[in-house]
Structure 1
Amino acid sequence: MSNKNVMASLMLALGLLLAGAGMTGAQSVGVCYGRNGNNLPSQAEVIELFKANNIGRMRIYDPDQATLQALRGSNIELILGVLNDNLQALTDASTASNWVQNNVVAFSSDVKIKYIAVGNEVPPGDAKAPYVLPAMQNIQNALTSANLQGQIKVSTAVDTGLLGVSYPPSNGAFSDTASQFIGPIISFLVNNGSPLLANIYPYFSYTQNMQSIDLAYALFTSPGVVVTDGAYQYQNLFDALVDSLYSALERAGGSSLAIVVSESGWPSEGGTAASLGNAGTYYANLISHVKQGTPKKAGQAIEAYLFAMFDENLKAAGVEQHFGLFTPSKQLKYQISFP
């Protein structure tokens, strides 16, 4: 082969490598698919809508069989949820084994299940809190028995309410009550190489502390640095919240853990600062921002899931009904596009 052809081959290989790297970054954004509405499209239509909009990752909150069937062969990566109401039952090993057989093994050949979220935002003082870790352990053991432990990671989804200190981000720490709950879970995640799933909502942080937080800081539109924290500079609240959680993990023995943002969104109506304009700005900026990483994790693309696919009219009245990217008639509400 001539030098010219060798060079051409090298350039082609490099191009393919870079394209692959770009594709990995593009896949850092997914969308949460909740079904708490009585006017939503069928599960098969929803999967087609994901594919038509190049959305390569999905989170669902329970092992809905019609959704799992529709995902077969789609190549969409999935966070599969365990409902909080099912946690106690899964503290029984045989029940957990059956759950994994019916909802994971039965689909593992052609559905790309990436994580299992065992519970969502279970408060540390809740009656269900003691069931989270045993359920995680039983699900993990069942996956290992099925030889899927390397393919699927077990975690739980938390919110930033576990933080006793969140400002500045480098001082992030779990509250005493939360530490007793999350400490053993962090050990489990470290031992199994699983990430922590975290629901990150600048919207709620802003509306609960408007006297101290500027709207632009919450919407990624601040023209300059807002918070300087040692070597780190923050221009948006999303990064500050994620890094506060990273700092808390470091203090709790979880410095090796990655955070997957399992929910983040902004409502289009129903409350303070909830408008189509603000929501569209937030989602568009979040999509473009996550590939950059946070100041503590610069250059490390954040795997993030936008909340949510649809407005869900059976949720509590107010903002909870208005987080959808799409209307129930499958129309995109905002001028945004997925990579």
Structure 2
Amino acid sequence: MAFSYSANEKNSFGVAMLLLFGLLMSHIGVSGAVGVCYGRNGNNLPSQAQVVSLFKANKIGKMRIYDPDQATLQALKGSNIDLILDVPKTTLQSLTDAAKAKDWVQKNVVAYSPGVKFRYIAVGNEIHPADAEAKFVLPAIKNVYSAIAAANLQGQIKVSTAIDTTLLGKSSPPSEGTFSTQASSYITPIIQFLAKNGAPLLANVYPYFAYTGNTAQIKLQYALFTATGVVVQDKQYQYRNLFDAMLDSLYAALEKAGAPNLEIVVSESGWPSAGNPAATVNNAGTYYRNLINHVKGTAGTPRKPGKAIETYLFAMFDENLKPAGTEQHFGVFSPSKQQKYQLTFG
């Protein structure tokens, strides 16, 4: 059957289609995106150019690197891979000088933009309140942010820091999540700055370490996303996996710190394949596959239903220069560029 429209009807129809398209795209954008952290602490790893090619071949659209390695940045040009770029711990103090922060941003960000798609700058990784570097984090964040803004890049690059869950004084049940007294004085001003400037908090979330640190009370199935029913009932929230519980404990802590709308990006999460009785190839493969499926869906967490969970797997490769034990066995690829597990990223 053929239909005819007046000019006004055509215009209305066109507007409706644009609105529908926008709605569809916003819905598509709800699903979590999966990236992979690329560490280089090994003496048998592929070249940076080969690694970028491996990311592209496996449709991995997001990468995290832990220092501004120039060869990696060169290889990323034109790749369309979103990037988290870390400021290493050893650089934090120097970036409390605004001029040095500006130089750092010019050399490592502006010089490669827009060919490299910088997404976040992580100013420090897992800095703890007692660390000597803790007092440098917020001043460095502010200076890097100012340098990004001066380059007119603040609309596309967010400046943050990456924490771990040891900053929580209480995490169970998730609704009781709160930062420890010691951590609160450190992290609260950072949280306030991130909220003011629309940047997410980056968080490294490891059910593996939570499980192995408390096997008496945490079941392996809960950590691996394989529990068949509700494991933790927390008020109106029901938890079937430890990842969601850990993430929601951070969201609860943010609410108590006065930032209920601050987003969290999971900047690391992984499971080792050797070095501990729980660190097996089967367990690791199960964890990575289920984590990818979970964050690529639109379920979110019980506390943040329907909210995307942007997540970066740790890590791309086994790194043989790390301390002996599990630290050497977090890779989803071997140094020979072979997948250790059958994972679908894109």
Instruction: Give the C-alpha shift of residue 56 in structure 1.
Output: 0.5
Decide whether the 8 Å contact of 1:207 with 1:272 is kept in 2.
no
Decide whether the 8 Å contact of 1:56 with 1:77 is kept in 2.
yes
Q: TM-score, normalised by structure 2?
A: 0.93
The 3 A distance-change label for structure 1 pair 251 and 330 is same
Question: Partners of 1:294 and 1:105 in 2: how far apart?
Answer: 36
Query: Which one of 186, 194, 199 corresponds to residue 189 of structure 1?
Result: 194
Instruction: Give the C-alpha shift of residue 18 in structure 1.
Output: 7.8
Query: Which one of 297, 300, 310 corresponds to residue 317 of structure 2?
Result: 310
The 3 A distance-change label for structure 1 pair 23 and 47 is farther
Listed as ranges, the gaps of 5+ residues in structure 2 are none
Question: Partners of 1:272 and 1:129 in 2: how far apart?
Answer: 34
State the secondary structure of the residue aligned to 2:122: strand
Instruction: Give the C-alpha shift of residue 3 in structure 1.
Output: 2.7
Instruction: Give the C-alpha shift of residue 26 in structure 1.
Output: 5.9
Aligned pairs (5 A) from 1:65-84: 65-84=70-89
Aligned pairs (5 A) from 1:18-97: 20=25, 24=29, 28-97=33-102
Query: Which one of 168, 175, 178 corresponds to residue 183 of structure 2?
Result: 178
Residue 264 of structure 2 corresponds to residue 268 of structure 1: no
Identical amino acids, percent of aligned pairs: 64
Residue 3 of structure 2 corresponds to residue 3 of structure 1: yes
RMSD of aligned Cα (Å)? 2.1
- CA-to-aligned-CA distance 1:64-96 (integer Å, 9 cap, x gap): 111111111111101010001110111111110
Report the residue type matching 2:149 in the other structure. Answer: T
State the secondary structure of the residue aligned to 1:336: coil
Question: Partners of 2:40 and 2:126 in 1: how far apart?
Answer: 18
Residue 111 of structure 2 corresponds to residue 98 of structure 1: no
State the secondary structure of the residue aligned to 1:113: strand
State the secondary structure of the residue aligned to 1:78: strand
Residue 271 of structure 2 corresponds to residue 293 of structure 1: no
- CA-to-aligned-CA distance 1:171-211 (integer Å, 9 cap, x gap): 00000000010011011101111000000000000000010
Query: Which one of 253, 258, 261 corresponds to residue 256 of structure 1?
Result: 261
Listed as ranges, the gaps of 5+ residues in structure 1 are none
Residue 219 of structure 2 is matched in structure 1 by 214
Question: Partners of 1:224 and 1:169 in 2: how far apart?
Answer: 17
Question: Partners of 1:4 and 1:296 in 2: how far apart?
Answer: 48
The 3 A distance-change label for structure 1 pair 141 and 26 is same
The 3 A distance-change label for structure 1 pair 327 and 268 is same
Decide whether the 8 Å contact of 1:27 with 1:57 is kept in 2.
no
Question: Partners of 2:164 and 2:84 in 1: how far apart?
Answer: 16
Query: Which one of 314, 321, 324 corresponds to residue 328 of structure 2?
Result: 321
Aligned pairs (5 A) from 1:84-233: 84-233=89-238
Decide whether the 8 Å contact of 1:27 with 1:56 is kept in 2.
no
Question: Partners of 2:14 and 2:334 in 1: how far apart?
Answer: 47
Instruction: Give the C-alpha shift of residue 24 in structure 1.
Output: 3.3
Question: Partners of 1:318 and 1:14 in 2: how far apart?
Answer: 53
Residue 340 of structure 2 corresponds to residue 333 of structure 1: yes
The 3 A distance-change label for structure 1 pair 166 and 138 is same
The 3 A distance-change label for structure 1 pair 38 and 22 is farther
Question: Partners of 2:342 and 2:50 in 1: how far apart?
Answer: 21
Report the residue type matching 2:254 in the other structure. Answer: L
Instruction: Give the C-alpha shift of residue 149 in structure 1.
Output: 1.1
Instruction: Give the C-alpha shift of residue 272 in structure 1.
Output: 3.0
Count matched residues.
338
The 3 A distance-change label for structure 1 pair 48 and 16 is farther
Q: Which runs of 4+ in 1 moved over 3 A?
A: 8-27
Instruction: Give the C-alpha shift of residue 15 in structure 1.
Output: 9.3
Decide whether the 8 Å contact of 2:41 with 2:322 is kept in 1.
yes
Report the residue type matching 1:335 in the other structure. Answer: Q
The 3 A distance-change label for structure 1 pair 94 and 279 is same
- CA-to-aligned-CA distance 1:138-179 (integer Å, 9 cap, x gap): 101111111111111000000000000001000000000000
- CA-to-aligned-CA distance 1:236-280 (integer Å, 9 cap, x gap): 000000000000000001112000000000000011300000000
Question: Partners of 2:344 and 2:83 in 1: how far apart?
Answer: 20
Question: Partners of 1:333 and 1:2 in 2: how far apart?
Answer: 55
Question: Partners of 2:317 and 2:43 in 1: how far apart?
Answer: 11
State the secondary structure of the residue aligned to 2:46: coil
Question: Partners of 2:16 and 2:74 in 1: how far apart?
Answer: 41
Decide whether the 8 Å contact of 1:222 with 1:236 is kept in 2.
yes
State the secondary structure of the residue aligned to 1:58: strand
Question: Partners of 2:281 and 2:22 in 1: how far apart?
Answer: 38
